[in-house]
C-alpha cells in the first residue's frame, strides 16, 4: 500500500530572487539569482545535481516550451531536465517532480526551479493564453477578478454575511500582508496600507477593489532536495523535511453540476485532507505554526482559511478581524507578504511560498522571524473557483536518521 513521501525527502538548499518589475533581468537572470543562493545554501557542487524540473506557465513570454533553458542557464552537467506546468501550482509541481524522483530512489539529488517573466509582456494583468475548449466552452470572456468577485458574493450569501462586513475582513487581509512585506527585502510592494485606503480604492469587480488584488511581477525560486541520509552526510544535522505534498485538480463537477454553490473551492479540502493524512496531522489548526496560502485576491485567502480546515465554516471573517492570522496571532498567515505583496509570477509562486516556510523553520527570516516554528503549510490554487487545481504541501523540521 502506498505510504507517501513523508520524511523521505530533505530540502537542503533554497533560493529566491527579488520579486518585482525586473526590467533589467531576463528569466535566465532570475533563475541564476535563485540558483546561486540555493546551491550555496546546499553546500554542494553543481555536479551533484542529477535531475532538474523547471516550472513555467507562460512559456512563450518567459523561456520557451523546452526545459533546456534550465540546464543551459545553470550549466547543469547534462542531466535530465523536465519542464512542467500546472496553472498557479506550477512551482509546486516542479517541487513534486524533484521530490518524487528522490523519494523513489531514482536520483540522489534533484533541483526544482520556478520562474516567470511577466512585466515585459505589455499586459497590465496576466497575458492571454491560446484559447481552446477549456476556456471558450465553459468560461468565455471571464476575468480572474470577476470570477473571484463571484466567490465573494456567493460566500456572503451562503453564510449570511453582509457585504460591508465581508469587505472589512477582506481589507484586514490586505493590510496584514502589506504590514508583513515591509519587513521583507525580496517583496515587490513594501509599504503599509490602511483599511480606509482598501475600502476607498477603485472597484475592479465588486466587491473587489484595486487593493484586494495581488500584483503582476517577475521572479524565480529554487529548491535542492535529497534524502535525509545524504543530508546528514552533508552536515545538515537538522533539515527541513517534506511531510506531505498533495494535489487535487477539478474534474468538471463545479462547472456542470448544481451540487456546488460557488461559495468555496471543492479541490482545496480534498488536497488538504490528503496532505494532513500523509503528514499524520489530525488537528491542523493546532499543529501548524504558519501558513502560506494562495491570496491572489483578499477573498481567496479568507475562503481558503475554511477550505483548509483552519476556520470553522462561516467563521473566517471573524477570525481574521480578531487577528488569528496576523503575524502575532495564533496561526500567522503570509508572514512574508504573500502574493498580495510579491505579485504572482505564476511559475515561481509555489516555490516562493516554500522558501518562506523553509527560512522560518531554519530561523533565517530576519526581521520577520517567528518564534520557533516547526511545521508550516503552503497552498496554491491554480485557475478560478469553478475549475482549478489545489496543491497543499507541508514542511517540518526533522532530524536525520
Overall average pLDDT of the 352-366 stretch: 98
Beta-strand relationship, 51-55 and 81-84:
parallel
Q: Which of 172, 178, 294, 344 is catalytic?
A: 344
Domain pair 10-122+218-233 / 143-211+240-398, same fold: yes
pTM for this one?
0.95
For residues 203 and 170, the answer to whether their CB atoms sit within 8 Å is: no
Across the chain, what does the average pLDDT equal? 93
Q: Convert 130-160 to b/e letters by CB count within 10 Å (16 or more is b).
A: eeeeeeeeebeeeebbebbbbbbbbbbeeee
Contacts 24+ apart (CB under 8 A), 136-140: 138/255, 138/386, 138/387, 139/384, 139/386, 139/387
pLDDT over 60 at 135, yes or no: no
Segment among 148-162, 245-259, 326-340, 344-358 with least mean pLDDT: 245-259
The CATH architecture that domain 143-211+240-398 belongs to is 3-Layer(aba) Sandwich (3.40)
pLDDT at 13: 98
Overall average pLDDT of the 78-100 stretch: 97
Q: CA 191 to CA 189: how far, in whole Å?
A: 6
Overall average pLDDT of the 252-272 stretch: 91
pLDDT at 259: 87
Residue 81 backbone dihedrals phi, psi, to 5 degrees:
-130, 145
pLDDT over 50 at 81, yes or no: yes
Q: Identify which has the larger pLDDT, 197 or 58.
A: 197
**Grid coordinates 483578499 are at which residue?**
298
For residues 189 and 341, the answer to whether their CB atoms sit within 8 Å is: yes
pLDDT over 50 at 400, yes or no: no
* Chain centre to alpha carbon of residue 63: 21
Catalytic status, residue 178:
no
Q: CA 178 to CA 193: how far, in whole Å?
A: 6
Every domain of the chain and the residues it spans: 10-122+218-233, 143-211+240-398
pLDDT at 134: 56
Fold of 10-122+218-233: Peroxisomal Thiolase; Chain A, domain 1 (3.40.47)
- 261 pLDDT band (50/70/90 cuts)? very high
- 162 pLDDT band (50/70/90 cuts)? very high
Highest mean pLDDT among 139-148, 214-223, 254-263: 214-223
pLDDT at 401: 47
pLDDT at 335: 98
Q: CA 10 to CA 99: how far, in whole Å?
A: 9
Catalytic status, residue 88:
yes
Overall average pLDDT of the 268-285 stretch: 98
Q: How many CB atoms lie within 10 A of CB 322?
A: 14
Amino acid at each position: 500500500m502506498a505510504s507517501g513521501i513523508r520524511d523521505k525527502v530533505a530540502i537542503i538548499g533554497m533560493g529566491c530572487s527579488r520579486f518585482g518589475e525586473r526590467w533589467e533581468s531576463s528569466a535566465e537572470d532570475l533563475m541564476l539569482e535563485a540558483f546561486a543562493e540555493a546551491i550555496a545554501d546546499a553546500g554542494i557542487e553543481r555536479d551533484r545535481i542529477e535531475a532538474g524540473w523547471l516550472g513555467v506557465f507562460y512559456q512563450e513570454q518567459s523561456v520557451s516550451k523546452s526545459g533546456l533553458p534550465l540546464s543551459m542557464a545553470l550549466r547543469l552537467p547534462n542531466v535530465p531536465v523536465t519542464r512542467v506546468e500546472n496553472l498557479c501550482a506550477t512551482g509546486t509541481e516542479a517541487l513534486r517532480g524533484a521530490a518524487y524522483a528522490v523519494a523513489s530512489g531514482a536520483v540522489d539529488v534533484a533541483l526544482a526551479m520556478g520562474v516567470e517573466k511577466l512585466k515585459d509582456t505589455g499586459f497590465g494583468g496576466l497575458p492571454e493564453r491560446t484559447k481552446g475548449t477549456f476556456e471558450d466552452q465553459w468560461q468565455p470572456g471571464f476575468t480572474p477578478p470577476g470570477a473571484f468577485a463571484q466567490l465573494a458574493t456567493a460566500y456572503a450569501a451562503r453564510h449570511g454575511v453582509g457585504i460591508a462586513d465581508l469587505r472589512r475582513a477582506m481589507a484586514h487581509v490586505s493590510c496584514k500582508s502589506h504590514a508583513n512585506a515591509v519587513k521583507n527585502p525580496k517583496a515587490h510592494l513594501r509599504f503599509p496600507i490602511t483599511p480606509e485606503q482598501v475600502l476607498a480604492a477603485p472597484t475592479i469587480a465588486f466587491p473587489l477593489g484595486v487593493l484586494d488584488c495581488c500584483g503582476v511581477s517577475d521572479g524565480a525560486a529554487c529548491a535542492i532536495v535529497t534524502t535525509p541520509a545524504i543530508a546528514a552526510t552533508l552536515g545538515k544535522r537538522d533539515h527541513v523535511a517534506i511531510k506531505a505534498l498533495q494535489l487535487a485538480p477539478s474534474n468538471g463537477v463545479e462547472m456542470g453540476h448544481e451540487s456546488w454553490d460557488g461559495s468555496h473551492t471543492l479541490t482545496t479540502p480534498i488536497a488538504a485532507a490528503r496532505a494532513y493524512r500523509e503528514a499524520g496531522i489530525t488537528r491542523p489548526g493546532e499543529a501548524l505554526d504558519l501558513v502560506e496560502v494562495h491570496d491572489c485576491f483578499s477573498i481567496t485567502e479568507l475562503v481558503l482559511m475554511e477550505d483548509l480546515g483552519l476556520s470553522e465554516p462561516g467563521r473566517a471573517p471573524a477570525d481574521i478581524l480578531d487577528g488569528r492570522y496576523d503575524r502575532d496571532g495564533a496561526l500567522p498567515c503570509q508572514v512574508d507578504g504573500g502574493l498580495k505583496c510579491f505579485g504572482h509570477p505564476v511559475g515561481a509562486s509555489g516555490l516562493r511560498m516554500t522558501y518562506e516556510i523553509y527560512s522560518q523553520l531554519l530561523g533565517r527570516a530576519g526581521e520577520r522571524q517567528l518564534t520557533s516554528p516547526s511545521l508550516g503549510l503552503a497552498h496554491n490554487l491554480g485557475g478560478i473557483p469553478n475549475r482549478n487545481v489545489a496543491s497543499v504541501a507541508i514542511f517540518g523540521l526533522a532530524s536525520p536518521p
